[in-house]
């Protein structure tokens, strides 16, 4: 009897695609529309999980595009503390797609938010990246000057990158009631002051995220017609939800929304690819082993798994792995029958609390 599943590839079946997948090697990506070539300038932006991709690109010696460089006279530690190189520019975490749209618009002079500077306890911060400096600026002018330099770097990213890796992080955010400006951190947390009159909570739905992604892509491709985009969804759960419900429920809705939007968008554009880091870390096939005990932060071993799969599909091979496969038959690989000596076996029995001396 014929049926439509006959002859499908093994990855389309749970048993062979997941149940039997080797630990550390589950590979949910079956093909890629494009690969990152050795000369490509690769930029990253998005939620904190995108930082892992940045680091891996550097480690592999690929062209990780850092448009906003630290001061060469400062130490690596100082530049790192000031978030140079964490992403391609010092925008900090771009959690929502709407924030990404406004980043482009601010960089290219199409949007000037009403809020330019937030005051905080010890100085002033940029509302659109309030944690970018280890300590606040001393004056509002310094905030503006630093932002001007930053937005110049952002312009270079959107004009000069060959590939942009955009990690979608959140659907919940706070916006200005005045002009719709989106903030990465709620007003009052790292600067500014929260007021119901000034700000509103928003939780973007699927249709809004899809629409925002279309706008974001249209703007980016207008600036750079050859730009290719790799979308990922951060597996890091929400640290808190403003919705009056359990944070796990909100996390599920948020990630599902982003994942659906990414899927819809990937189907629309040949130059947009989805990379399943979310599935590798959070999928039911893996579960908690790739999360730290807080069940939120991702363990390095999980990140390494993600990057192996990313390298396999998205990068031209630079792996040093061998194709060598040893012989497997026991009579060949073990030419002599190896068993433990009697003493070891008896010690084992004794250690197990079992009688051994009689035998």
Partner 1 sequence: MRVVISSNCMTGGLTSALSLLLPAAKFDPIPYVGVNETVLDEQLAVSEAWLLSGPEGLQSATLGRVNKPNLRVIRFPDLYFNAFHPDQVYAWMRDGSTVDCATGPYNSAIALWAWQHGLNAQQTISLFTPEVFGALGYHDRWQVSIDRLRHDFVPFPHLDYRDFIIPLQRAGNFMHTVNHPKVAAMAQMARLLAKQIDPTVDTESIPVENMMVDGLFMASVSWSVYPSVANALGIKGAFMWKLEDHSVIGLEEFLQRSFAKYDVQQPHDVDCHELLWPIYDEVLLPIANGGK
Do the beta carbons of residue 30 and residue 9 sit within 8 Å?
yes
Place of tokens 């924030």: 99
Question: 10, 207, 252, 348: which one contacts partner 1 (CB under 8 A)?
Answer: 348
Does residue 312 interact with partner 1 by CB under 8 A? no
Chain centroid offset of residue 326 CA: 36
Does residue 302 interact with partner 1 by CB under 8 A? yes
The per-residue b/e assignment along 82-102, b for 16 or more CB within 10 angstroms, e otherwise, is bbbbbbbbbbbbbbbbbbbbb
Ordered DSSP codes for 130-179: TTSSSS-BSSHHHHHHHHHHHHHHHHHHHHH-SEEEEEE--SEEEEETTT
Does residue 357 interact with partner 1 by CB under 8 A? no
Does residue 287 interact with partner 1 by CB under 8 A? yes
Question: 2, 73, 317, 321: which one contacts partner 1 (CB under 8 A)?
Answer: 321
Does residue 61 interact with partner 1 by CB under 8 A? no
Place of tokens 């938010």: 113
Does residue 320 interact with partner 1 by CB under 8 A? yes
Piece in contact with partner 1 (CB under 8 A), picked from 96-104, 125-133, 178-186, 300-308? 300-308
Does residue 334 interact with partner 1 by CB under 8 A? yes
Q: Residue 43 CB, nearest distance to partner 1 (Å)?
A: 27
Does residue 293 interact with partner 1 by CB under 8 A? no
List for the chain the helix, strand, coil content (%; round to 5).
Answer: 40, 10, 50
Piece in contact with partner 1 (CB under 8 A), picked from 96-104, 129-137, 208-216, 338-346? 338-346
Do the beta carbons of residue 232 and residue 161 sit within 8 Å?
no
Residues in contact with partner 1 by CB under 8 A are 19-20, 22-25, 286-287, 289-290, 301-302, 304-305, 308, 319-326, 328-330, 333-342, 344-356, 358-359
């Amino acid at each position: 009897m014929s049926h439509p599943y006959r002859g499908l590839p093994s990855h389309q079946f749970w048993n062979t695609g997941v149940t039997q997948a080797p630990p550390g090697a589950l590979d949910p990506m079956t093909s890629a529309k494009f690969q990152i070539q050795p000369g490509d300038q690769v930029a990253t932006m998005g939620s904190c999980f995108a930082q892992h991709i940045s680091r891996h690109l550097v480690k592999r010696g690929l062209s990780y595009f850092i448009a906003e460089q630290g001061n060469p006279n400062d130490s690596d530690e100082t530049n790192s503390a000031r978030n140079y190189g964490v992403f391609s520019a010092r925008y900090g975490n771009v959690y929502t797609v709407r924030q990404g749209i406004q980043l482009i618009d601010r960089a290219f002079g199409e949007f000037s938010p009403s809020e330019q500077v937030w005051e905080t306890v010890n100085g002033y911060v940029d509302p659109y990246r309030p944690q970018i400096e280890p300590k606040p600026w001393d004056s509002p002018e310094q905030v503006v000057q630093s932002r001007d330099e930053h937005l110049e770097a952002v312009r270079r990213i959107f004009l000069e990158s060959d590939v942009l890796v955009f990690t979608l992080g959140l659907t919940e955010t706070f916006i200005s009631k005045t002009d719709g400006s989106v903030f990465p951190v709620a007003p009052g947390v790292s600067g500014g002051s929260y007021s119901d009159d000034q700000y509103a909570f928003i939780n973007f739905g699927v249709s809004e995220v899809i629409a925002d992604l279309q706008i974001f892509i249209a703007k980016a491709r207008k600036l750079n017609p050859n730009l290719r985009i790799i979308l990922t969804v951060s597996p890091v759960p929400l640290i808190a939800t403003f919705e009056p419900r359990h944070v796990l429920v909100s996390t599920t809705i948020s990630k599902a929304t982003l994942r659906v939007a990414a899927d819809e968008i990937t189907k629309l554009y040949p130059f947009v690819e989805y990379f399943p880091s979310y599935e590798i870390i959070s999928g039911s096939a893996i579960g908690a082993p790739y999360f730290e005990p807080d069940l939120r932060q991702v363990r390095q071993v999980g990140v390494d798994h993600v990057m192996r799969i990313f390298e396999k599909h998205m990068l031209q091979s630079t792996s040093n792995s061998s194709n060598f496969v040893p012989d497997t038959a026991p009579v060949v690989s073990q030419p002599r029958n190896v068993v433990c000596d009697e003493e070891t076996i008896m010690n084992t029995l004794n250690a197990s609390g079992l009688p051994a001396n009689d035998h």
